Amino acid sequence: KIVVIDFGSKYNQLITRTIRELGVYSELHPHTVTAEELKSMQAVGIILAGGEKEDMFSIDSSLFDLGIPVLGIESGAQFIVKHFGGASELLDGFSSIDEEKQLYGMRLHPDAEKTDNLKGKIQHFVEDICETNASWSMQTLIEIEVEKIRSQVGDRKVLCALSGGVDSSVVAALIHRAIGDQLTCIFVDHGLLRKFEVESVVDTFSNQFHMNFIKVDARTRFLDKLKGVTDPEQKRKIIGNEFIYVFDEESAKLEGIDFLAQGTIYADIIESGTATKEVIKSHHNVGGLPEDMEFELIEPLKALFKDEVRAVGAELGLPSEIVHRQPFPGPGLGVRVLGEITEEKLDIVREADWILRDEIAKAGLDREIWQYFAILPDIRSVGVRNEKRSYDYAVGLRAVHSVDGMTADWARIPWDILEKISTRITTEVDHVNRVVYDITGKPPGTIEWE
Ligand code: XMP
């Protein structure tokens, strides 16, 4: 494996993924990783991924004595030169700093092709200098993880909270591949999911994978708790807490469970950005499960990037609608019905959202747009239908391009497609007489409206 040490480069995740795409396993670690740890990881190459600024982080410099090739990038290269008392200016491109010790440095050309340039150099280092061969693939990853799960779990039992999202679905499928019936999945239907979502989850996990699958119908329970609540943060809290209560109650009915499976992925663990932040943080996917749960955690996707998680899911036979599902907030439609949530409003937003999704898919834009959905603002306006005045709801449409949800740009959906969507919503969905399209970026807006 090649270890990338986060030394402040904004490209550190890109570098890690580039190496994996070459078929060589790679991990990103904070600058606090020790030489001893690198040795026990059996690293065959180390990349000190620094940024343009000459921030010098502290690292365990005995890693230079491990006999493992080290490539310093930008300030990482400067660090190596300084450490060995060199005063030499690094040349542009790739240079050998100290051949005996196998130290290399590179600077990036300050041009638009920076990342291509970077990829080529990384490939040279990984393949020619570290002498790796491409043997890492999704299949080998699955085999390795399956073996790990089997030896960790033995003949004991695992519980998984399935949300229908990509990460928890892939975790369930992977663990099921490893231990079959020793896995039980709990799926809480809180009534805030999109149209056909419950059916798709049940069909996949219960009917196709034949998992031990418990579907809890908690729709009324959630609606009751949300009655009269209008504040978005309060709604989030209620939905999150209620989820925990329901999950707790259901899991208490089961006996002899030792493990809880979590869909934690790489992005949840390593914050993108720089080594100035302390990198590793623990992250609970299921909206914070109770602390006193006496389960051991299983997190088999911890080392994977989102697109790798999708590839594993596809390899395990999950349907494309699950593997390529767009991001969907935990509180679901609860934060897309603005103001008080009622069954009627949920139905309206669910139907409008379905039409939007249907037309986006028909237009072949479903993989292109990062996230798209309908919102039901708490307003009514005057309209005319069948020559009669109406006073009904307005539906908002939102579609954005984004990489990680931190910033976003509104999608330029062709007007004729927007027109089709608008016409369908106002004719097919009762109590809607107006459709608006949100043309706000993030910032200053957010992606969701609540
Ligand atoms: P915002 O609205 O903050 O959304 O621009 C950024 C991304 O996060 C999702 N989102 C949530 N996800 N629980 C979640 O699990 C939440 O409470 C929540 N709020 C927003 C949103 O859908 C978008 O992808």
Return the pLDDT at 364. 97
Closest residue CA from atom 12 of ligand 1: 329
Instruction: Note every long-range contact of 125-130, with CB atoms under 8 Å and residues 24 or more positions apart, other chains counting.
Output: 125/45, 125/47, 125/69, 125/71, 125/94, 126/2, 126/19, 126/22, 126/24, 126/45, 127/22, 129/45, 129/69, 129/71, 129/102, 129/104, 130/2, 130/44, 130/45, 130/69
Provide the 10 A C-beta neighbour count for residue 113: 11
Residue 206: pLDDT above 90?
yes
Which residue is associated with the tokens 């943080």? 281
Structure confidence at residue 292 (pLDDT): 61
* Residue with CA closest to ligand 1 atom 16: 329
Please state which CATH number belongs to domain 336-437: 3.30.300.10
> Which class in CATH covers the domain with range 2-129?
alpha beta
Q: Which two tokens stand for residue 233?
A: 């943060």
Give the per-residue pLDDT at 278: 39
Cα 94 to its chain centre, rounded Å, is 34
CA of 397 to the centre of ligand 1 (A): 16
> What's the token pair of residue 369?
């747009």
| pLDDT tens-digit readout, 294-307 | 789 999 998 898 98
What count of Cα atoms within 13 Å lies in the side-chain half-sphere of residue 307?
9
Collect all residues with Cβ–Cβ distance below 8 Å to 444 and sequence separation of at least 6: none
Is 70 a known ligand-binding residue? no
Sketch the domain layout of the chain as residue ranges.
2-129, 138-323, 336-437
Mean local confidence (pLDDT), 211-216? 97
pLDDT at 246 over 50: yes
Residue 203, marked binder: no
430: closest CA among 337, 347, 335?
Answer: 347
401-413 residue pLDDT tens:
998 888 999 999 9
Among 57-61, 117-121, 236-240, 330-334, the least confident range: 117-121
CATH assignment, 138-323: 3.40.50.620
Q: Which two tokens stand for residue 415?
A: 């007007």
Nearest CA to ligand 1 atom 9: 329
From the CA of 40, how far away is ligand 1's center (Å)?
A: 38
What value does the mean pLDDT take over residues 76-92? 76
Q: What are phi and psi of 334, to 5 degrees?
A: -55, -30
Give the pLDDT score at 280.
32
Please indicate if the annotation marks 153 as binding a ligand: no
What residues does ligand 1 touch, defined as CB less than 6 Å away?
236, 327, 329-331, 371, 405, 442, 446-448
For residues 342 and 229, the answer to whether their CB atoms sit within 8 Å is: no
Q: Do domains 138-323 and 336-437 have the same CATH topology?
A: no
Whole-number Å distance, alpha carbon 361 to ligand 1 midpoint, is: 22
Say what the pLDDT of residue 283 is. Answer: 33
Question: What's the gap in Å between 449 CA and the centre of ligand 1?
Answer: 10
Q: How many angstroms is it from 448 CA to the middle of ligand 1?
A: 6
- Ligand 1 atom with least separation from CA of 327: 24
What's the pLDDT at 285?
Answer: 40
Mean pLDDT over 178-182 rounds to 98
Segment of 51-55, 325-329, 432-436 carrying the highest mean pLDDT: 432-436
Cβ-contact 200, 164 below 8 angstroms: yes
| Mean pLDDT taken over the chain | 90
